[in-house]
Homo-oligomer: A and B are copies of this chain.
Amino acid sequence: MTVIGFIGLGVMGAPMAANLVQAGFDVTGFNRSPAKVQRLVEAGGRGASSAAAAAEGADVVVTMLPDSPDVEAVLLGDGGVLERLAPGTIVVDMSTIRPDVARSLAAAGDARGVRVLDAPVSGGEQGAVDATLSIMVGGDASTFEAAKPVLDALGRTVVHVGPPGAGQTVKAANQLIVAGTLQLVAEALVFLSAHGVDRERAVEVLAGGLAGSAVLDRKAPAMLARNFQPGFRVDLHHKDLGIVTAAARDAGVAIPAGSLAATLIGALRAQGHGDLDHAGLLLQVEQLSGRTPAD
- Give the interface of A toward B (CB within 8 A): 99, 121-124, 127, 133-136, 156-163, 165-166, 169-170, 172-174, 176-178, 180-181, 183-185, 187-188, 190-192, 194-198, 201-202, 204-216, 218, 242, 244-245, 247-249, 251-264, 266-267, 269-272, 284-285, 287-291
Contacts and interface: CB of A to CB of B under 8 A. Distances in A.
Overall SS of chain A's interface: helix
A254 B173 contact: no
A212 B211 CA distance: 11
25 contacts: A123-B208, A123-B209, A156-B208, A169-B195, A170-B206, A174-B209, A174-B210, A176-B187, A180-B181, A180-B183, A181-B181, A184-B258, A190-B254, A213-B215, A249-B266, A252-B269, A253-B285, A254-B264, A256-B288, A257-B257, A257-B260, A267-B288, A267-B290, A271-B287, A288-B288
Q: What is the copy number of this chain in the assembly? A: 4
Given A158-B205, A170-B197, 11 more contacts: A136-B206, A160-B201, A161-B205, A165-B195, A169-B191, A177-B188, A180-B181, A181-B184, A184-B257, A267-B288, A270-B290
Contact of A212 (B133, B159, B213, B287): B213
B260 A288 contact: no
A168 to B, nearest CB: 9
Nearest to A191: B253
A208 B133 CA distance: 8
Contacts of A258: 184, 187-188, 191
